[in-house]
Amino acid sequence: MELSSEQMQGRVVVTVLHVKGDLDGSNYRELIALAQKEYDAGARDFLIDLSGTTYMSSAGLVALQSIVKMLRKEKPFDEEAGWGAFHEIEREGSKGMLRHVKLLGPQPRVDKVLEIAGVKNVFPIFTDLAAAIASF
């Protein structure tokens, strides 16, 4: 997996996290660490670019939810909790769409994972970068 980040100006500064390759149990902590680094530097709005992500396991879902929890200043997941993390993601869906973490261009395999996990009603998903930036 390759990670990079950049800031783009919309109505607010949006930090775009670019994820290329597979996002799985071997590397999901790297995405969380990059988001934490950007958060510590002042980032508060994240667009996670999944257009180059060819595969995402359940660990990738944990990474996404961990970023949400970081922004809310909530305790991080207990990685030993297993399915508890997914139930928490499902509960997020009942609260409506997120405002500070959005997704860009998930490939069909990744989109299917998001659908199966029930998080497509939680994370706003965009296919156009400009529209995604303007939505913040």
**Domains identified in the chain and CATH numbers:** 2-134 (3.30.750.24)
pTM, rounded to two decimals: 0.90
Distance, CA of 72 to CA of 10 (rounded, Å): 22
The pLDDT value recorded for residue 90 is 57
For residues 65 and 85, the answer to whether their CB atoms sit within 8 Å is yes
If one compares 89 and 129, the residue with the highest pLDDT of the two is 129
Residues with Cβ < 8 Å from 103, sequence gap 6 or more? 47, 48, 50, 64, 114, 123, 124, 125, 126
Q: Is the pLDDT of residue 52 over 90?
A: yes
| pLDDT higher than 80, residue 135 | yes
Residue pLDDT, tens place only, 24-47: 999 999 999 999 999 999 999 999
Q: How far apart are CA 105 and CA 47, in angstroms?
A: 10
Q: Both tokens of residue 9? A: 């100006």
Q: In Å, how far are 31, 42, 58, 124, 136 from 25, measured between CA atoms?
A: 11, 27, 8, 24, 30
Tokens representing 35 are 């988001």
Per-residue pLDDT of 87-113, as tens digits, reads 666 565 545 568 899 999 999 999 999
